[in-house]
Amino acid sequence: MGMSISLRPELKQFVEEQVRTGRFSSAEEVVEAGLARLMLDPAADELDDDDRTAIAESEGQIARGEDLDWSQRRRLWRTSKASSITSARIRRRTPRR
């Protein structure tokens, strides 16, 4: 049984691009793949309890002033990364007993 659908211009362009690049052989295949994905994970846009808990924890940290801006976060990450690289080099030089 056939079905006719109308797509917004940007979705139509996406479908055409998928076919043009060879990822799918037809527009029907693109739409079927999208629907199959929705069937596998129908509530992908809903938050589960773990998500809500993580968000609440993050909001609490922000409210307590425990948040970091990007430059602070990057500095900490680089420091910890450099520290772990240095530690790995030291461990390799240390003879095992």
Q: 87 pLDDT exceeds 80?
A: no
Q: 83 pLDDT exceeds 90?
A: no
What is the per-residue pLDDT across 33-70, written as a single tens digit (0 to 9) for each?
Answer: 999 988 887 565 678 889 889 999 989 988 888 887 88
* Claim: this prediction has a pTM higher than 0.75: no
Q: 22 pLDDT exceeds 60?
A: yes
Burial class (CB in 10 A: 0-12, 13-18, 19+), 34: middle
Q: How confident is the model at residue 48, as a pLDDT?
A: 82
